[in-house]
Every structure is written in C-alpha cells, then in structure tokens.
C-alpha cells in the first residue's frame, strides 16, 4: 500500500521564541538557538482525516502521513519502520508488582532501533528538499539508521561517532557505505565536528532537533501507542532519555491527537530514565531548573544515553513536569541485571537503554510513585543484539584457539 503524504503542513515554529518559518525550505535552528517544530492544519485535518481510515493505511509509520512533513510520495524512503509490537510482559509484571505492564519493542525496526523512524523522515525530507550530502553526530544507533536510509536514497552520509561506539554501529555504517569518522570524545564533540564540516563542505547537519524532521518520525511512537491501545493512553510511559527526542516527540503527538479529536486531555506520566554516569536531565529535574547543565565525564554501557547536554532539555523537562512524571537514573550494573533477567523471563533481549527502564520501574514501584494497577508502558528503544560487548561482560568465553576463528567448524580452512 502506498504511503500517505501530508496535505496539511503549514509552517515551522521556533520552540523558544515562536517565530515562524516557511515550509518547503531547508532549515536548521532558529537564530535564537531554538529547535523548530513542524505545524499542521489540525483543524482542517480533524474534519478530513478519521482514525477509522487507519484500518486500510500502510503497515509502517507512514500510515500517519497526514501529520508527517513529506508532501510528495516519491520522496518517501521507507525500509518498513514502525508498527512495532506492544507486548504484554506478565511474568516480569508479576515479579515487580505491576499488574498491567507492556513493552513497546522498538528493537524490531530496521537497523534494530527506533532511530529508524526519525531518519526515515529526515532522509525523506532531504530528498524532497534536494539535499545531497548529510552529516550526523551520533551515539551510535542514529548513525546506523542514517547510513541505511542515505544508502536507500542514494545520498552521501558523513558519520561522526565516539571511537568506543558499539561495534555493531561501526560495522553497519561501513557496510552501508557511509564515510565514518571515529572521534576521541562524546556525541557533543562529534556535533562540533559536524557543524564545522557543514560550514566548510556544505553538508546538511542532521543533528537531532537541529534538523526539524527527525522528531516528526519519532513522534509516530506516540500515535502508534494510542492506536494499539484503542485510543487510550497508559498511566505512565518509561522512556530512556538521551537527547530526549522520542519523549518530546510523543508529547507533541499526544497534543496533536487531542486536536484531531482522537484522544482526550488525559496524559501519561512521562518518566525520563537516565543512567548514573550521565544524568543531566535528572539533575535539572531535581533542582527545579528549566535547562540542564553539561554532564562532565559521562560514561555508561547504554551508549544511546551518553548525551551530556541535550539540545531539547527544556522540552523534556516541560513534558515531564506537565505530565506529573519524574526523572531518575539507574546504574550500569542494575540495567545489565535487568536486561538479562528480562531476556530469560520474557524472551526479549533488549538494548541496555530499554533495560534501564525496567530497572527504573522497579524503583518507582518500590518507592510507591506508581501503583500496582497502573497501566504502564516501557519503551525498549533498541535490540540487545547491537550491544554484544556490553552483555558479553556477563558471559565471558574462554580465550580463543584456532577453533574459535570466524567460520570455525562450518567453514573449510
């Protein structure tokens, strides 16, 4: 089935100063430094787009095309992203004391993470706007997704990621034919190199939130959740927060869906989960600050959460506070324990980022922040298969001899 395109995109709007920007043009940040958010004519859509019509819509995130920014069908670069399962995890729920617990498993997306949603949208918009060369700073999974979608679109991809990024991300990007630069530093250092390259080489900077369309792809996690829950929302959503764009995107989706008349005013408690080694949002939340401060010497095996200063920190904090949610951090030991237990209990091998949410849930139930009968959804943002180095620390194998070489017993030597 053909993806649907937007007929209701009106303009972009600065999230800080509300200045408006014309659609159909290339944009990064507003001059005031604020990320731009895409706006649609939701009044008109409310009359013309009924949620019942989704029954015959494409089986990907492009089913929500009327609230995505792409206006021409031929621009859409899709590898089948979205429509991931929302799984009941009763055994885990029973152990933790959560009677109505589900996991939205984003690990089943192309390139094994939810980043596929954002990059499908961003690369499609690059095609629509005639952009040829893309550059991205990434903690890992966004790089893999951009490399894949750029390859599918026939665009050039310049990738900057930390030298100690998981091996899967490095190998994927190389296999997809991207130009990869490994940086001695974190995503914040990568972002500086991308900005410099964009000025020098004319690359388009696809840094999350500097580029206005990745968030639009990610927001489909919110639409999809509502659709899968028959247009109710859960009482609480756990989201592993690095740049926080998935959380901000879902919050935007909920407001859009209310304007469309698809859901009511009730919102889930938005729970931002970070890690002990990098928790700028948690600190800002606890201090009552509107913005976060740069987290020095960030470390964690949940590499997607190693974001020392999210660009959209104020938007994350607004959503968490407005929703009466909270922000908390767990340790690497706790999240690896939770990930392994989840795998053996439910058959789900999740990314450390998703595992962090399981550990956070345990804490919030124990502390009484959440009730046993609350409807809870955890976002697992990636596949555990992309983090073999992290999980291998728990399952060491004896150092290899000849027989452990690649191919081993099955390949003639």
Ligand X SMILES: Cc1ncc(COP(=O)(O)O)c(C=O)c1O
Residues that bind Zn ion (CB under 5 A): 14, 16-17, 19, 30, 32, 34
φ, ψ of residue 365 in degrees (nearest 5): -75, -45
Helices 352-366, 332-346: inter-axial angle, 10-degree rounding: 100
Among 58, 69, 212, 240, binds ligand X (CB under 6 A): 240
In the complex, what is the shortest distance from the CB of residue 335 to ligand X, in angstroms, rounded to a whole number?
12
175 binds, among Zn ion, ligand X, none (CB under 5 to 8 A by kind): none
224 binds, among ligand X, Zn ion, none (CB under 5 to 8 A by kind): none
Quick one: which segment of 9-17, 70-78, 234-242, 402-410 binds ligand X (CB under 6 A)? 234-242
Under a CB-based contact definition with an 8 Å cutoff, are residues 357 and 240 in contact?
Answer: yes
Q: Is the Cβ of residue 4 or residue 328 nearer to ligand X in the bound state?
A: 328
Between CA 159 and CA 369 the distance in angstroms is 41
Q: Is 141 in the site for ligand X (CB under 6 A)?
A: yes
In the complex, what is the shortest distance from the CB of residue 37 to Zn ion, in angstroms, rounded to a whole number?
11
Among 58, 166, 217, 246, binds ligand X (CB under 6 A): 246
Under a CB-based contact definition with an 8 Å cutoff, are residues 370 and 361 in contact?
Answer: yes
User: Among 56, 171, 59, 173, which Cα is nearest to 119's?
Assistant: 173
Question: For residues 350-369, which are near ligand X according to CB under 6 A?
Answer: 351, 353
Q: Is 161 in the site for ligand X (CB under 6 A)?
A: no
In the complex, what is the shortest distance from the CB of residue 231 to ligand X, in angstroms, rounded to a whole number?
24
Q: Is 313 in the site for ligand X (CB under 6 A)?
A: no
In the complex, what is the shortest distance from the CB of residue 408 to ligand X, in angstroms, rounded to a whole number?
30
Q: Is 244 in the site for ligand X (CB under 6 A)?
A: yes
Q: Is 142 in the site for ligand X (CB under 6 A)?
A: yes
Question: For residues 372-411, which are near ligand X according to CB under 6 A?
Answer: 381-382
In the complex, what is the shortest distance from the CB of residue 36 to ligand X, in angstroms, rounded to a whole number?
17
120 binds, among ligand X, Zn ion, none (CB under 5 to 8 A by kind): none
34 binds, among Zn ion, ligand X, none (CB under 5 to 8 A by kind): Zn ion
Among 111, 113, 220, 274, binds ligand X (CB under 6 A): 113
Q: Is the Cβ of residue 20 or residue 72 nearer to Zn ion in the bound state?
A: 20
In the complex, what is the shortest distance from the CB of residue 79 to ligand X, in angstroms, rounded to a whole number?
17
Q: Is the Cβ of residue 109 or residue 207 nearer to Zn ion in the bound state?
A: 207
State the SS3 of the chain: CCCCCCCCEEEEEECCCCCEEECCCCCCCCCCCCCEEEEECHHHHHHHCCHHHHHHCCCCHHHHHHHCCCCCHHHCCCCCCCCCCEEECHHHHHHHCCCEEEEEEHHHCHHHECHHHHHHHHHHHHHHHCCCEEEEECCCHHHHHHHHHHHHHCCEEEEEEECCCCHHHHHHHHHCCCEEEEECCCHHHHHHHHHHHHHHHCCEECCECCECCHHHHHHHHHHHHHHHCCCCCCCEEEEECCCCHHHHHHHHHHHHHHHCCCCCCCCCEEEEEEECCECHHHHHHHHCCCCCCCCCCCCCCCHHHCCCCCCCHHHHHHHHHHCCCEEEEECHHHHHHHHHHHHHHHCCCECHHHHHHHHHHHHHHHCCCCCCCCEEEEEECEEHHHHHHHHHCCCCCCCCCHHHCCCCCCCCC
In the complex, what is the shortest distance from the CB of residue 316 to Zn ion, in angstroms, rounded to a whole number?
18
| Residue facing ligand X at closest CB distance | 304
Among 42, 101, 135, 139, binds ligand X (CB under 6 A): 139
Between CA 403 and CA 408 the distance in angstroms is 5
Q: Is 326 in the site for ligand X (CB under 6 A)?
A: no
In the complex, what is the shortest distance from the CB of residue 342 to ligand X, in angstroms, rounded to a whole number?
15
Question: For residues 18-57, which are near ligand X according to CB under 6 A?
Answer: none
Q: Is the Cβ of residue 34 or residue 246 nearer to Zn ion in the bound state?
A: 34
Q: Is 197 in the site for ligand X (CB under 6 A)?
A: no
Q: Is the Cβ of residue 66 or residue 312 nearer to ligand X in the bound state?
A: 312
How many other C-beta atoms can be found within 10 angstroms of the C-beta atom of residue 182? 14
Give me the residues that bind ligand X (CB under 6 A), please.
113, 115, 139-142, 208, 240-246, 304, 351, 353, 381-382
């Amino acid at each position: 089935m053909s993806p649907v395109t937007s007929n209701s995109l009106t303009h972009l709007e600065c999230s800080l100063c509300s200045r408006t920007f014309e659609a159909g043009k290339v944009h990064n940040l507003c001059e005031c430094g604020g990320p731009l958010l895409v706006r649609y004519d939701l009044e008109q859509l409310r009359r013309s787009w009924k949620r019942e019509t989704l029954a015959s819509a494409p089986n990907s995130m492009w089913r929500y095309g009327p609230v995505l920014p792409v206006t021409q069908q031929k621009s859409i670069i899709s590898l089948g992203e979205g429509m991931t399962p929302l799984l009941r995890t009763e055994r885990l729920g029973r152990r933790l004391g959560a009677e109505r617990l589900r996991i939205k498993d984003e690990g089943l997306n192309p390139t094994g993470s939810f980043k596929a949603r954002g990059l499908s949208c961003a690369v499609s918009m690059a095609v629509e706007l005639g952009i040829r060369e893309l550059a991205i700073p990434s903690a890992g999974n966004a790089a893999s997704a951009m490399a894949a979608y750029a390859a599918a679109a026939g665009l050039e991809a310049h990738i900057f990621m930390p030298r100690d990024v998981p091996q899967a991300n490095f190998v994927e990007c190389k296999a997809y034919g991207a130009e990869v630069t490994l940086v001695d530093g974190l995503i914040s250092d990568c972002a500086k190199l991308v900005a410099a390259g964009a000025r020098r080489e004319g690359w388009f900077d696809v840094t999350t939130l500097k580029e206005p369309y990745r968030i639009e792809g990610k927001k489909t996690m919110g639409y999809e959740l509502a659709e899968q829950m028959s247009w109710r929302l859960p009482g609480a959503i756990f989201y592993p927060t690095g740049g926080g764009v998935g959380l901000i995107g879902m919050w935007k989706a909920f407001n859009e869906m209310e304007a469309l008349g698809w859901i009511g005013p009730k919102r889930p408690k938005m729970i931002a989960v970070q890690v002990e080694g990098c928790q700028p949002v948690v600190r800002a939340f606890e201090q009552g600050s509107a913005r976060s401060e740069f987290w020095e010497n960030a470390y964690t095996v949940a590499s997607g959460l190693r974001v020392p200063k999210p660009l959209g920190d104020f938007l994350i904090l607004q959503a968490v506070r407005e929703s009466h949610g909270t922000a908390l951090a767990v340790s690497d030991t706790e999240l690896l324990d939770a990930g392994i237990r989840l795998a053996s209990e439910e058959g789900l091998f999740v990314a450390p980022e998703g595992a962090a949410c399981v550990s956070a849930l345990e804490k919030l139930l124990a502390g009484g922040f959440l009730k046993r009968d609350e409807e809870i959804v955890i976002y697992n943002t990636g596949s555990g298969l992309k983090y073999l180095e992290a999980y291998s620390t728990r399952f060491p194998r004896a150092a290899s001899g000849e027989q452990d070489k690649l191919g081993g017993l099955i390949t003639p030597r």
